[in-house]
Amino acid sequence: MTHPENAAEFLKDSQKAKWHDETLWFVRDKRDKVSKGIPEWEQLRELASGIKDNVLANLADYLEEFERNATKNGIIVHWAADSEEHNRLVLEILQQQNCTAVVKSKSILTEECHLNPYLEKHGVEVVDTDLGERIVQFLNQPPSHIVLPAIHLKKGEISELFHEKLNTEKGNEDPAYLTQAARVHLREKFFAAKVAITGVNFGIAETGEFIVCTNEGNADMGVHLAQVHIACMGIEKILPRRKDLGVFLRLLARSATGQPITNYNSHFRSPSPGKEIHIILVDNGRTAQLAREKFRNSLKCIRCGACMNTCPIYRRSGGFSYNSTVPGPIGSILSPGLDLKKHSSLPFASTLCGSCTDVCPVKINIHEQLYEWRQEVTKTQGEFAKGLAMKLASGIFKSPLAYKISGSLMRNALKSLPNSLIYHPLNSWGKNRNLPDAPKESFQQWYRKNRS
């Protein structure tokens, strides 16, 4: 299904769509307020973008430096060219540990690799431990937002779900009550798991350490109780120096949810005595994106989700409408690089207003890349109907007489044509759009009357 088709589905529940729109805008507003309290905010964005530029220009060297230091610290480093290899590596580690139940904290990368279904197919129970992710996992859904995985659900739906899965009181929709029920359920899983999987927010070349940020503390609950920690990291998550974290940690949570920092920011440098830390460095299309000069900058993304919260299309169409692991504006420039055919409608899921670019903490030119992807899509697919309309318009604009006649025809037609024709199902522009009232006269007619 294309983005417009999915969006139409989302908009059927107009009340919920309105709530979704307003709630995300509220998060965007919090981001604005907290960022305005930092006088050097724009300088920080500039720095973050510059540091990432340097990372992308020297990625191979930094990866080797990271590997060298991490290995020195006793971390076991693996490399995966694609999602299949990533999943296989995870399974092998689990099998070495005879582990059939694993706890996992939020990782967009493991979503991208479809790790859960792979492990389940091989007899491993996977428990997502971020509350929002556990909720969507119970529903067999992917997250609809990279920071707020269950933002598409109302508490009534979650209450019903927890009644079924966790035996909570029927009809009790109190978020505190539901969160407590999930706490009891998840703590049982943490204390039982031998292996814990996490994503990675930043890997530091200089020290070989990696950083994981959460508010719930679920990543740490998992890994510190488990015997083995598997961290899955996209190769673009490298930063050169430890002190670069000062810049990125100041930007990340403020951009994501409007908080000054996430409550837990854990720096993993070497395993506890007797335990193991594995890190898997994953390419899965990233070197191909690095090779595309126009789209290279998209690899700077730190997955804060600010571009989704601000996007007028995302807010009004929901994360699922993108049918892509990373939805929203940033997903719409990352996913076409992975599968242009499947994601061909995504670069068009934008008004090109540029708000995403304005809020991006690493200054990715998202809306410009969306425009560039449109060129790529039309190059490969072409748009016959639109091409025809453009040719017709070109003929009209070339002849002054044709222009005059068609203008007057159009003004009369808009007044007299029945709505059933204007908003005909075949005219997708008529959907959810109202035509402006047609003026009585053209500008030329008005000028002749009033000014000549």
Partner 1 sequence: MSSREKILSAIRSLTLESKALPDIPNFSNSGDLVERFTQSISGNKGEVLSKGELEEWFSSSGFSKVISRSSQFSELATLSLPEDPHALETLEVAILDGQFGVAENGAIWLEDRQLGLRALPFATEHLVIVLDRNLLEDTMHQGYEKIAAAHSGFGLFLAGPSKTADIEQSLVIGAQGAKSLRVVLI
Q: Does 155 bind partner 1 (CB under 8 A)?
A: yes
Of 3 and 250, nearer to partner 1 (C-beta) is 250
Amino acid symbol at 69: N
Q: Which stretch binds partner 1 (CB under 8 A): 131-139, 335-343, 399-407, 412-420?
A: 131-139
Q: Does 215 bind partner 1 (CB under 8 A)?
A: yes
Q: How far is the CB of 107 from partner 1 (least distance, A)?
A: 16
> Which of 124, 61, 137, 43 lies closest to 90 in space, CA to CA?
124
CB atoms within 10 A of CB 383: 12
- List the one residue from 50, 117, 395, 439 that touches partner 1 (CB under 8 A): 50
Q: How far is the CB of 187 from partner 1 (least distance, A)?
A: 6
Query: Which burial class, exposed, middle or buried, applies to 421 when counting CB atoms under 10 A from its CB (0-12, 13-18, 19+)?
Result: exposed
Instruction: Kindly write out the interface string for residues 228-257 of this chain, putting x where it contacts partner 1 by CB under 8 A and - elsewhere.
Output: -------x----xxxxxxxx-xx------x
- List the one residue from 14, 60, 426, 452 that touches partner 1 (CB under 8 A): 60
Q: How far is the CB of 402 from partner 1 (least distance, A)?
A: 49
Report the distance separating Cα 374 and Cα 344, nearest Å: 8
User: Phi and psi (nearest 5°) for 239?
Assistant: -125, 150
Report the distance separating Cα 172 and Cα 163, nearest Å: 9
Of 268 and 322, nearer to partner 1 (C-beta) is 268
Q: How far is the CB of 173 from partner 1 (least distance, A)?
A: 9
Coil, helix or strand for 121?
A: helix
Q: Which stretch binds partner 1 (CB under 8 A): 268-276, 315-323, 331-339, 367-375?
A: 268-276
Please give the angle made by the CA atoms of 173, 16 and 111, to the nearest 5 degrees.
80
Q: Does 161 bind partner 1 (CB under 8 A)?
A: no
- List the one residue from 5, 40, 120, 358 that touches partner 1 (CB under 8 A): 40
DSSP class of residue 170 equals: T
> Which of 89, 305, 287, 274 lies closest to 197 in space, CA to CA?
89
Q: Does 65 bind partner 1 (CB under 8 A)?
A: no
Report the distance separating Cα 380 and Cα 376, nearest Å: 6
Of 302 and 346, nearer to partner 1 (C-beta) is 302
- List the one residue from 18, 33, 170, 183 that touches partner 1 (CB under 8 A): 183
Strand order in the sheet with 101-104: 76-80, 276-282, 228-234, 195-198, 101-104, 125-128
- List the one residue from 261, 393, 402, 417 that touches partner 1 (CB under 8 A): 261
- List the one residue from 81, 405, 417, 421 that touches partner 1 (CB under 8 A): 81
Q: How far is the CB of 363 from partner 1 (least distance, A)?
A: 13
- List the one residue from 122, 194, 224, 294 that touches partner 1 (CB under 8 A): 224
Query: Which burial class, exposed, middle or buried, applies to 186 when counting CB atoms under 10 A from its CB (0-12, 13-18, 19+)?
Result: buried
Q: Does 128 bind partner 1 (CB under 8 A)?
A: no
Q: How far is the CB of 355 from partner 1 (least distance, A)?
A: 20
Of 254 and 343, nearer to partner 1 (C-beta) is 254
96, two tokens: 């070495």
CB 102 within 8 A of CB 127: yes
- List the one residue from 8, 21, 56, 403 that touches partner 1 (CB under 8 A): 56
